[in-house]
Amino acid sequence: MLICEKKSEVREQVNAWRRQGLSIGFVPTMGYLHEGHKSLMEAARRENDRVVVSIFVNPMQFGPTEDLESYPRDFDRDSALCEGVGVDLIFHPQPEEMYPEGFCSYVDMNGLTGELCGKSRPTHFRGVQTVVLKFFNIVRPDRAYFGQKDAQQLSVIRRMALDLDLGIEIVGCPIVREEDGLAKSSRNTYLNEEEHQAALMLSRSLAEGKTLIEDGERDAGKIKSAIADIIAKEPLAKIDYVDVVDFENIVPVEKISGTVLVAIAVYIGKTRLIDNFIHKEI
């Protein structure tokens, strides 16, 4: 397994693989890898000749009061996990490699980013799109893998790839959960035992919303209220949002039809966690 810190090193290796006619799968991460990331790597390993993983805590997608400095990092642990899955190359750049002095170009989007996480984190998706497009230009993958836990991000990246004619297949992979139902997240490490137990309310509330839809409820407002009522019973929880949106366009809906995303963001103590499910009408 190769570990590269420079863009030029990655490009040189990618070009060599391209000359051999090999396909490339790419998994962008911010490190502190868990089973969710591993599932993305395993999917990439199954479907491509070579697999590249980026490990980069992207400063551009953090707001001024967010957890950039405290975000968990453990490169030795991450690289061991990658090697165990069969990753061929890790790209582990420093911020100045990605954003050299004088950097002033960004990728932004008028749609899809104004609701859900984009409402409370207004600069977040500009940072995500910019770094992902840079990675795509460096790695030039055939396929790139993203988890459904960050469902809005998945929709945004799919739209960017379509709008900008990137020719990359964006593959969404299912949410991976702890045995107790909590969605896997690097930020779960912030939770103490009491907070971890409180965080289980996220998946429980979504399970109630899913049951309501499966039982025939089509009023999005009633589904949102039922989810919010369950979360509100937990003293350590503070709701950022509970919403039901069209999955393709990320706009709120009043009635359940087509494919909808039911998504929540909740603070447990100081830790902001997200979770969701996707419902597709048959």
Q: And the tokens for 101?
A: 């002095």
Q: Given 37, 92, 124, 279, which residue is catalytic? A: 37
Rounded Cα distance between 244 and 252, Å, is 6
Of residues 239, 232, 243, the one with CA closest to residue 276: 243
Q: Is 106 left (phi over 0), alpha (psi -120 to 50) or beta?
A: beta
Rounded Cα distance between 41 and 87, Å, is 7
**CA-CA-CA-CA torsion sign (210, 215, 220, 225):** negative
- What b/e string do you get for 107-120 counting C-beta neighbours within 10 Å, with b at 16 or more? beeeebbebbbbee
Please report where in the chains the tokens 């035992």 appear, as a residue.
193
Tell me if residue 37 is catalytic. yes
Tell me the DSSP string of 192-233: -HHHHHHHHHHHHHHHHHHHHHHTT--BHHHHHHHHHHHHHT
Residues with active-site annotation: 37
